[in-house]
Amino acid sequence: TMQFYYNKSADYKIPVASTQKLLTAVLICQAGGLDEELVIPKEVYSVEPTVVGVKPGEKYTRRQILTGLLVRSGNDLAATLAIDNAGSVEAFAEKMNLYAKALGMENSNFKNPHGLPAEGQYSTARDIALAAFEAYQIPDIREIVKLRKYDFVFNSGKVYELYNTNKVLSSMDSCNGMKTGFTYAAGNCLVSSASENGQDRIAVVLKSYRPAVYTDSQKLLEWALALEIEKPEVEGEEEPEAGGESASAANETKPTHAETVALR
């Protein structure tokens, strides 16, 4: 089960960039066949960066593509998985929306699997926390999002070293994932998770900036890990002393949206 500990503007509808790839990953894992091969579609040529650089006609396992998606955030990999799963990006987005509603994500509307800007696409910190909670239950995703580096081997034999941009993985020993995101509209976003002494926590920070998105996420996780598990949801009280524009920011010149979740 999950328990919300702290939120700020958690139901405000905004772009969430690549953090929505967690929902994409959930759908792909639930479909199964991760170790089966897929064929890269021609549509990858029209996908905007960040891209890993796979080419139409190449073959990879879904696990390879999923790992590259979550570690390096390749938008071409997101499109590949979506088309493989549903036949088109649009059809996959419909599946995302149906599943989001089933999870209780009441303030989200997805247009693509990767989070690139699209008219009418939005989510909230609370909804992304629900998606992250679902992703956290899947062992395959848990194993991937904790990786700091992944060697993506192209069909040609060339190796592309993919580095995880979640800096909390290296700054906080108990951090074990999850997903970064950035667009100019969404700002810097981070879903981060941590496990310590049998307690699991997830923090969502959206519409932030660097380096605050990392430092604030870590402070939220550390604060939440120190709480008693029975503590009820906090609405702006006893918040962690984070800087920048995160959940507990003193400087509120721009909207920032955060949610901190406990799992038990």
Give DSSP secondary structure letters for 125-172. HHHHHHHHHHHHT-HHHHHHHT-SEEEEE-TTS-EEEEE---THHHH-
Encoded tokens for 106: 């009441």
- Catalytic annotation, pick one of 8, 9, 13, 21: 21
Q: State the Cα–Cα distance between residues 23 and 239, nearest whole angstrom.
A: 28
CA 67 centroid distance within chain? 13
Specify whether 21 is catalytic: yes
Q: Is 18 a catalytic residue?
A: yes
Point out the catalytic residue in the list 9, 18, 208, 248: 18
Active-site choice (73, 108, 195, 246) = 73
73 classed as catalytic: yes
Q: How far apart are CA 193 and CA 262, in angstroms?
A: 10
Three-class SS of residue 7? strand
Catalytic residues: 18, 21, 73
